[in-house]
Amino acid sequence: MHTYFKTLFRNVKIGVSQAARGPQSLAFVAASILAAYWLGAAALFLTAPLILLAFHAGDPTNRAGPDTGDIGQMREEVERAVKRARKKSLRTACMAVQIDDFDTLLNRYGRATTNLIISCCHDRLARALRSSDQLFDLSNGRIGVLLAPVRQFGLEPALELAERLQSTVQEPISLGNTTAYISVSVGLCLDGHAPNDPGKALLDASLTALDNALRQGPSKVRAYSSGMPAAAPHRVADELEKAFETDQFVSWFQPQISTDTGQISGFEALARWVHPRAGLMLPAEFLPVLAFTGRLEQLGDATLRNALRAIQTWDTIGFDIPHVGVNFSPEELRNPQLAKKIEWELDRCNIAPKRLAVEILETVVATSPDDAITRNINALAEMGCLIDLDDFGTGHASISSIRRFPVNRLKIDRSFVMKVDRDIEQQRMISAILSMTERLGLETLAEGVESAGEHTILSQLGCDHVQGYGIARPMPLDETPDWISAHQAKVHPPPVIGRIVG
Ligand code: C2E
Ligand code: CA
Ligand code: CA
């Protein structure tokens, strides 16, 4: 094994004993899965017991439902099922079902309620499947499905089944006095479609398909195909070095709209990795790798430069874009030089500090951050940058912790926004947040606004800004001018030349 991998793997092992208990185990699990992802299937096999150890040692109530298994057990069962099927000329298939945004769900509802939600997903899947099919708890909101072998089973029926299972699981989940809305992504692989030894590879191929679904998600179904990038890119360190050298990390921009005027109030810069083999990769796939390899700051530098270049581009064209939001990780915020660096960059580009919105996760503020973070936030605010509290509602920040920081705006997390037009409980939550922010004199932005109904009710309830797929998906910088022009034409349509009525 490459020394780099050895070190990484040793860190993973050390992590087990330190992180097996308490909420940190989640971060550790994410890192382990990622190490496995990047180091390849062998590491997944090696780390799987550690992942499970971390999970189960931390919380005895973690197991999701009555019919749970684990990844090792599922592997064995898949191998047995494939052998059995071959002997009788039958066919089986594997699916991996993953709750989207699982960490957000966990933050919002806590471990016990999240377990109830997972348990409900299990029950719904079990009801929709035959009694001979098997379900396995793969941890972290992921459920494995092994279909009992049948005589004829093609790709189309498999996809239809996956979509049916997805719809069943995505029905609202009643939790007594509230309702949870979840979406799931599904990866599947038919016996005979996986590369290499079919018994061993079937589960891995369905996990690769799931990775692809998540990359394009949320709420996507993907079947494994041989052209799919395997879930194990190699030589991570070299790849990252090259990626930064050749500007493979780019920023896409998603607009934010004022509910008052309909005008564009800003854009958020969102990182993308244009990977030479895997194609466009989302932050969920590469941020943990960058965190693992200590390169988050390098990404932050690239994103800041991209954001400032975007402002210059829009200014040159003559568009009025008040500001751009940039996400800052806790690691970056800990750098005592951060405020100076940003000041220098703004100065170099001749851009006023108020054009930069510094997005800080609510969780960072909620957990009484260290002095360096506090100093940076205060220095950036004093300089004139806007401070946005990101993913608000998931981090349990107290009112006093919000008051302690010079926050301008709360970005209300997508989990509160989903179906807000149809669910009275969601409306109550949003109204409570809005009346609190109004009294505190803060602005609000609702994230993840996907439908016209959500947009309308949010403006009616008094939310100041909206951002989400319903307005526009994140786009590369060179697509923004056309989008801005089209949006401006909608808000202020050009005067219609009067028709002469004869
Ligand atoms: P975030 O800051 O909460 O960014 C919003 C995320 O929600 C983005 O995902 C965006 O594409 C997605 N989104 C926007 N509208 C909708 C919608 O209507 N429905 C749904 N389902 N999703 C929507 P993305 O680009 O994958 O980024 C994920 C996270 O990665 C970001 O969450 C942010 O925390 C982090 N991130 C992105 N870029 C950077 C960066 O340059 N540096 C750092 N440190 N973190 C970044
Ligand atoms: Ca953000
Ligand atoms: Ca957010």
pLDDT at 25 over 50: no
Give the number of other Cβ atoms within 10 Å of residue 39's Cβ: 23
Q: Average the pLDDT over 323-334 and give the result.
A: 95
Q: Average the pLDDT over 289-297 and give the result.
A: 86
Mutate to test the pocket of ligand 1, among 267, 327, 356, 388 (most ligand atoms within 8 A of CB): 327
pLDDT band at residue 32, thresholds of 50, 70 and 90? Answer: very low
The lowest-confidence range among 24-38, 398-412, 441-455 is: 24-38
Q: Average the pLDDT over 225-252 and give the result.
A: 76
Please state which of the four CATH numbers 2.60.120.260, 3.40.50.2000, 3.40.30.10, 3.20.20.450 is assigned to the domain occupying 237-490: 3.20.20.450
Q: Output the average pLDDT for the chain.
A: 82
pLDDT for 66 equals 31
Q: Average the pLDDT over 71-78 and give the result.
A: 88
pLDDT for 371 equals 86
The token pair that represents 35 in the structure block: 């190490």
**How many residues does this entry show for the chain?**
502
Q: Average the pLDDT over 279-291 and give the result.
A: 85
Q: What is the pLDDT of residues 472-493, one digit of tens each?
A: 999 999 999 999 999 999 988 7
pLDDT for 230 equals 55
pLDDT for 220 equals 92
State in Å, rounded, how far the first CA of the chain is from the last one: 85
Domains 71-223 and 237-490 share a fold: no
| 498 CB burial (10 A radius; 0-12, 13-18, 19+) | exposed
Round to whole Å and give the CA distance between 66 and 123: 9
pLDDT at 340 over 80: yes
Q: How far is the CA of 192 from the centre of ligand 2 (A)?
A: 42
The lowest-confidence range among 36-45, 199-208, 368-377 is: 36-45
Alpha carbon separation from 444 to 143, 413, 458, 462 (Å, rounded):
36, 11, 10, 9
pLDDT for 204 equals 87
% residues pLDDT > 70 (the chain) = 81
Q: What is the pLDDT of residues 358-402, one digit of tens each?
A: 999 998 888 767 789 999 999 999 999 999 999 999 888 888 888
Return the ligand number nearest the Cα of 269: 1
Q: Average the pLDDT over 250-278 and give the result.
A: 95
Higher confidence at residue 7 or residue 419? Answer: 419
Helical residues (DSSP H) of 59-90, grouped into ranges? 71-87
Domain with residues 71-223, CATH architecture: 2-Layer Sandwich (3.30)
pLDDT for 232 equals 46
> Mapped to the 3 state alphabet, what secondary structure does 92-116 carry?
EEEEEEEECCHHHHHHHHHHHHHHH
pLDDT for 33 equals 39
pLDDT for 229 equals 60
pLDDT for 9 equals 29
The region that residue 89 occupies, defined by phi over 0 for left and psi between -120 and 50 for alpha, beta otherwise, is left
- Measured from the CA of 270, which atom of ligand 1 is nearest? 38
What's the CA angle centered on 16, arms 79 and 36, to 5 degrees? 45
Q: Give how far the C-alpha of residue 143 lies from the chain's centroid of Cα atoms, to the nearest Å.
A: 18
pLDDT for 31 equals 39
Higher confidence at residue 39 or residue 388? Answer: 388
Determine if the pTM surpasses 0.75: no
Q: How far is the CA of 270 from the centre of ligand 1 (A)?
A: 6
pLDDT for 62 equals 33
344, containing H or E segment: helix 338-348
| Dihedral sign for Cα atoms in the order 363, 365, 371, 372 | positive
Higher confidence at residue 23 or residue 150? Answer: 150
pLDDT at 199 over 90: no
Using alpha carbons, select from 215, 224, 205, 206 the residue that is nearest to residue 286. 215
Q: Average the pLDDT over 420-447 and give the result.
A: 96
Q: How far is the CA of 390 from the centre of ligand 3 (A)?
A: 5
pLDDT for 288 equals 79
pLDDT at 49 over 60: no
The lowest-confidence range among 79-88, 89-98, 303-312, 333-342 is: 79-88
Q: Average the pLDDT over 157-167 and give the result.
A: 94
pLDDT for 196 equals 65
- In this structure, the residue with its CA closest to atom 20 of ligand 1 is 448
Round to whole Å and give the CA distance between 306 and 478: 12
pLDDT at 30 over 90: no
Q: How far is the CA of 388 from the centre of ligand 2 (A)?
A: 8
pLDDT at 28 over 70: no
% residues pLDDT > 90 (the chain) = 56
| Dihedral sign for Cα atoms in the order 231, 236, 239, 240 | positive
pLDDT at 411 over 90: yes
Round to whole Å and give the CA distance between 449 and 51: 34
Return the ligand number nearest the Cα of 101: 1
Q: Which residues on neighbouring strands pair with residue 85, listed in sequence order?
A: none
Residue 486 main-chain phi, psi, to 5 deg: -65, -40
Residues sharing a CB contact under 8 Å with residue 159, sequence separation 6 or more, in sequence order:
188, 221, 223
The token pair that represents 432 in the structure block: 């409570």
Contact 17, 53 (CB under 8 A): no
Mutate to test the pocket of ligand 1, among 216, 244, 270 (most ligand atoms within 8 A of CB): 270
Is the CB of 282 inside a 6 Å radius of any atom of ligand 1? yes
Helical residues (DSSP H) of 129-197, grouped into ranges? 155-170
The lowest-confidence range among 46-60, 81-95, 368-382 is: 46-60
**Helix or strand or coil: residue 294?**
coil
pLDDT for 431 equals 97
Q: How far is the CA of 230 from the centre of ligand 3 (A)?
A: 29
- Domain boundary assignment for the chain: 2-58, 71-223, 237-490
pLDDT at 192 over 70: yes
Higher confidence at residue 496 or residue 296? Answer: 296
Q: How far is the CA of 488 from the centre of ligand 2 (A)?
A: 24
- In this structure, the residue with its CA closest to atom 19 of ligand 1 is 448
